């Protein structure tokens, strides 16, 4: 992995030439039929690292988390993961930039701790700035933290078929899949991504 590093007191920016970091968060609103007045919200995240043919995938929805390492061809075969991967590429802020919360910084360490306890099961310190689509389908920016040290991916083995099967079994428990809403969200999210790309040139001119 080839990278250059720029460091200050709290973070280190790692810029890579041969690795891509992308991801997306979304927040869904669900109703409990038939009591439609009872609405609850669920955060979903998909984080990806692509290094050559190797793709690390880190996902979470509700209390379910999982991560695997697969080939790019294997990713293309899974329509669910492929959708989020393609979406993450379209919405990427800078797919070659990775940020490290420096553990030697007390404030940075505290920030990483609080964030990880909100969305993850453990402390995480390596992140990218991802797109967050909220329940009203508006876009914001959120830090997406990886479970692993991304530099470790270079020497990581591909997940076994057994681990891949376990991951897929958990992933198929996503509400949008069980409730048959995946295609609907695909259309909505793709439109949001296309619309966001169409306004980027105007935004850059105004800066």
| 3-state secondary structure (DSSP) of residue 168 | helix
62 alpha-carbon distance from chain centroid: 14
Helix (H, G, I), strand (E, B) or coil at 136: coil
| Helix-, strand-, coil-residue percentages of the chain, each rounded to 5 | 40, 40, 25
Per-residue pLDDT 10s for the chain (207 aa) are: 888 999 887 889 999 999 999 999 887 765 555 555 666 567 889 999 999 999 999 998 867 789 999 999 999 999 989 999 999 998 888 999 999 988 644 444 444 444 445 677 777 889 999 888 877 778 888 888 999 999 999 999 999 999 999 999 988 877 777 777 777 877 877 787 787 776 554 444 333
Q: Give the global pTM.
A: 0.82
Per DSSP, the three-state class of 147 is coil
Q: How far apart are CA 62 and CA 168, in angstroms?
A: 16
Domain residue spans of the chain: 3-206
Q: Which residues fall within 8 angstroms of residue 70, CB to CB, at 6 or more apart?
A: 54, 55, 57, 158, 159, 164
């Amino acid at each position: 992995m080839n990278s250059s590093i720029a460091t200050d007191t709290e973070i280190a920016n790692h810029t890579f030439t041969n690795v891509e970091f992308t991801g997306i968060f979304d927040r869904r609103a669900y109703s409990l039929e038939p009591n439609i007045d009872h609405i609850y919200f669920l955060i979903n995240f998909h984080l990806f690292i692509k290094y050559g043919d190797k793709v690390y995938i880190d996902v979470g929805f509700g209390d379910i988390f999982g991560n695997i390492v697969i080939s790019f061809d294997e990713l293309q075969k899974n329509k669910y993961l492929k959708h989020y991967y393609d979406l993450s590429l379209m919405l990427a802020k800078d797919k070659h930039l990775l940020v490290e919360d420096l553990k030697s910084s007390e404030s940075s360490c505290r920030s990483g701790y609080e964030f990880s306890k909100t969305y993850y099961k453990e402390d995480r310190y390596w992140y990218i700035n991802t797109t967050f689509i909220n329940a009203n389908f508006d876009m914001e920016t959120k830090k997406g933290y990886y479970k692993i040290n991304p530099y470790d991916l270079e020497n990581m083995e591909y997940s076994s078929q057994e681990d891949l099967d376990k991951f897929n079994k958990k992933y198929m428990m996503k509400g949008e899949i069980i409730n048959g809403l995946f295609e609907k969200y695909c259309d909505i999210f793709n439109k949001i991504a296309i619309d966001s790309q169409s306004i980027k040139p105007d935004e850059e001119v105004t800066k």
